[in-house]
Amino acid sequence: MPAAADRFTSVVIIANPRAGTTSPAVVADIARRCARRIPDVRSFWTAGRGDGVRLARAVAAADGASVLVIAAGGDGTVREVVEGLVQGTPPGAAPPVLAVVPVGTGNSNYLAQWGEVPWTDALEALLEPAADGPVRAEIRWLDLYRLAETSELILLGACSGLVAEALGVAAGIELTGRARYREALTRAAARHRPYAGRVEVDGDVVHEGPTILANVGGGRYRGGIARLLPFSVLDDGYLDVCVIDATVPAEQVPELITDGGHIGRPGVVYARGKRVTISSTDHTPVPFEHDGELVRGDHRRFTVEVLAAALPVACHAGRPVG
């Protein structure tokens, strides 16, 4: 891969001051590392929810593919920046390259792109590739997904049932980070009632009956811990989907999905396709989230479509991105 200075004329850092583990010192460190190779570095702090979309849209529209955009935050920040980059890129033009610095809480996007590599090593590998460096970077065109009913962009994935219910429970839990997500899943599982559901992949019904959850995406990790889609690859042009039906005891699901033990069990379906529909069969609304945000409204049907190779993203070279 060429050095970043040969590819980019500027760097824009979009940082969320509320993300779980960020600080002004971290953002100054990112800017300093970039400025050694690319002198034109601009940093912006998001002022509130949605501001990442606005900032990224403006950068994509003004600078196009010549700018490296660094999202410094957690998965919420990354989702906003991605949305803005896609919105701001004119049809037919190449979007800016995205790099993620994981200073949020779950950081599932960064985990998918780089695994456990420290972000400082990842950034150095991107800025100044060295044949003998500890890691190598490459730009991969990652798939994105769209929720047809609302036109919203999906980045990491979406889930009906238990995972969506856990988001509602999480608001009342004092813990932080991954521990909070784990506790929320456990509490939601204890009170869970399966819904009457159907899942179709490219028009074929792969599941119908009492349903605990149907997760589609997307990233292998959700909330930094749950590995619902352990085989998912983010640049293969396909959606993976995993359905857990009500023959699996709900209270076992949090542990099963944390270590991947649900795969291959009776009552679990794993499939792959380009268009996945998750619906209820008794006309009751389905609880549903994507990227950790609950979808409001009484929806009975959700259709997720793949947008293949939609965004260039800096990733760890030589390993599947997922």
Ligand X SMILES: Nc1ncnc2c1ncn2[C@@H]1O[C@H](COP(=O)(O)OP(=O)(O)OP(=O)(O)O)[C@@H](O)[C@H]1O
Residues near ligand X (CB under 6 A): 16-20, 46-49, 51, 73-77, 80, 104-107, 292
Nearest distance, CB of residue 177 and ligand X, angstroms? 7
Candidates 83, 69, 94; CA nearest to 4 is 69
Q: Between β-strands 41-45 and 67-73, what pairing exists: parallel, antiparallel or unpaired?
A: unpaired
Nearest distance, CB of residue 178 and ligand X, angstroms? 8
The four Cα atoms 29, 33, 36, 38 give a dihedral, to 10 degrees, of -110
Nearest distance, CB of residue 220 and ligand X, angstroms? 15
Pairwise CA distance, residues 299 & 285, whole Å: 5
- Return the structure tokens found at 130: 């060295």
Phi then psi for residue 183, to 5 deg, are -65, -40
Query: Which one, 248 or 295, has the nearer CB to ligand X?
Result: 295
Nearest distance, CB of residue 180 and ligand X, angstroms? 9
Nearest distance, CB of residue 271 and ligand X, angstroms? 27
Phi then psi for residue 114, to 5 deg, are -130, -5
How many other CB atoms sit within 10 Å of the CB of residue 296?
A: 8
Query: Torsion-angle region of residue 87: left (phi > 0), alpha (psi -120 to 50) or beta?
Result: alpha
Candidates 281, 20, 255, 310; CA nearest to 160 is 281
Query: Which one, 38 or 71, has the nearer CB to ligand X?
Result: 71
Nearest distance, CB of residue 132 and ligand X, angstroms? 32
Query: Which one, 84 or 95, has the nearer CB to ligand X?
Result: 84
Query: Which one, 82 or 248, has the nearer CB to ligand X?
Result: 82
Residue at shortest CB range from ligand X: 74
- Return the structure tokens found at 162: 């238990």
